[in-house]
Chains A and B, each alone.
Chain A
């Protein structure tokens, strides 16, 4: 309860007390939106956390060893993740459904294993960024831009092609949509956004190690996306914000976080398969009620 009363009565104190949590909410929102992109194109890929690690380590290593400014390395990290998504995506996107999910989980695990075995990454000890900045501005500013772009994108040629592919890939192909190419584009854009979120996270946290990119986090992001629903861009936002803050709100639930996520996921699939704020992915509205005959 104190969580909410402080938010309302003492916003500045709330900001100071929960700065790390707010940062986490922003980063997780970006990460969940990267998942939204691929889900929107009808693909269940779980490589996003792996791309997040690629973005984070690329950025931090370039900063520590290449002495490039942090802000620049964040962008380079995002691009590196996107570049890596090409050779990963071209063979794996031939798969679909659970097979694609399994292949992409494998990718995330390979990234973590690689980090643990390459000396320059600090192996298991992680990397410290001495001159990072805990400002939340970059994360929230980019969040606004990303949300706006994704929201506008829904009605563009690209956004509608993704919708069509998700609904029926062969029919989309028959209408002239290059399904393989549009899927790869979604995969790469998702990787860029995930890499960006990872690099930003490193910048805010002063420290990275492989525990940030665990399988638990992969499942967590999936739950965020499914919890909010992908029918609207707001879905992933609501999902990631609610579930990131939940362990803070209900302190005692913290140690059971993964269990709680699991229960939420099951309940959602049963009761609200379209997610908490659901909505159809298209623009369709329910038909107006039929006029009643005068009685």
Chain B
């Protein structure tokens, strides 16, 4: 298990946004996390990535207890994430966004001084990183955009740049927070292909998504949150036929005459 959550809880005033959630993600898995609006999906991502501390429960990452760790420490251990609302370094070029993403993998002192005085060896290392950044950009289909400011990209391109930046960490686990929100069907299809491909290469991912079709298509396992509680966990086909899940999405009346498994 690369990621283990046990009884993770987060309260805001009187509201329990995440309520005693247990969730395991195995190495090499592409796990989906779905749930209606306000069910605590993003809060859960924040708890795992260190942006919020859990009020109760524990998080283990790569066999290490990491509860309460700050995000930068988790990132250095190989935990990458994207954001529901795109967060890029807007003034920096597309290429630099990916290069900054490699921060945790580069050493502070060797190279830094070399770069300062212009040592050729430091320049060579920088060029290698640049090549790697370019190939990451190629994977997400942003070749030719390297020198543009990130803020100048179209929305869908910004989302893909965020994914490339997350991959620049050489992560062991990527948390994707609604990566296809607001994208058109052909863009969704291309990203689904990318996620499936990355997963085949051995990358572990936790995909938080509203887009049920995407989740069904690429995930081998799906967990469902409702009111902060995990109400189902298993293969997508079985989970979507679960009456409790249909009820969470459609309400009692809707669940009676519809079945999510056959829906979109």
Contact = CB atoms under 8 A, between A and B. Distances in A.
B169 interface: yes
B231 to A, nearest CB: 28
Contacts of A174: 49, 51, 71-72, 75, 80-81, 83, 87
A285 B91 CA distance: 10
A282 B96 contact: yes
Contacts of B147: 283-285, 287
B108 interface: yes
Contacts of A286: 148
A134 B192 CA distance: 69
A179 B72 contact: yes
A152 interface: yes
A176 interface: yes
A177 B117 CA distance: 23
Contacts of A258: none
Nearest to A280: B91
Contacts of A156: 112, 115-116
A158 B75 CA distance: 17
A176 B72 contact: yes
Contacts of B91: 163, 167, 280-282, 284
A173 B70 contact: yes
A16 interface: no
Max count, chain B CB within 10 A of own CB: residue among A153, A171, A283: A171
Contacts of A171: 83, 87-89
Interface string A264-290: 000000000000000011111111000
Interface in B56-97: 70-72, 75-76, 80-81, 83, 87-96
Interface stretch (B8-16, B25-33, B99-107, B237-245): B99-107
Contacts of A173: 51, 70-72, 75
Nearest to A169: B87
A158 to B, nearest CB: 6
A177 B108 CA distance: 11
A175 B83 CA distance: 12
B163 to A, nearest CB: 13
A46 B206 CA distance: 43
Given A157-B111, A167-B90, A176-B76, A280 B104 contact: no
Determine which residue in A152, A167, A170, A284 has the highest number of CB atoms from chain B within 10 A of its CB, and name it.
Answer: A284
Given A157-B108, A177-B103, A168 B70 contact: no
A248 interface: no
A72 to B, nearest CB: 25
Nearest to B77: A176
A164 B100 contact: yes
B165 interface: yes
Nearest to A164: B100
Contacts of A158: 112
Most B CB atoms within 10 A — which of A153, A161, A176, A286? A176
Given A152-B118, A156-B116, A281-B92, 12 more contacts: A152-B116, A156-B112, A160-B99, A164-B103, A170-B83, A174-B49, A176-B75, A176-B103, A280-B91, A284-B93, A284-B96, A285-B147
Interface of A: 149, 152-153, 155-158, 160-161, 163-164, 167-168, 170-179, 280-287
22 contacts: A153-B116, A160-B92, A161-B100, A163-B89, A163-B92, A164-B89, A164-B92, A167-B90, A170-B83, A174-B71, A174-B72, A174-B83, A175-B101, A175-B165, A175-B168, A176-B75, A282-B92, A282-B93, A282-B149, A284-B94, A284-B149, A285-B147
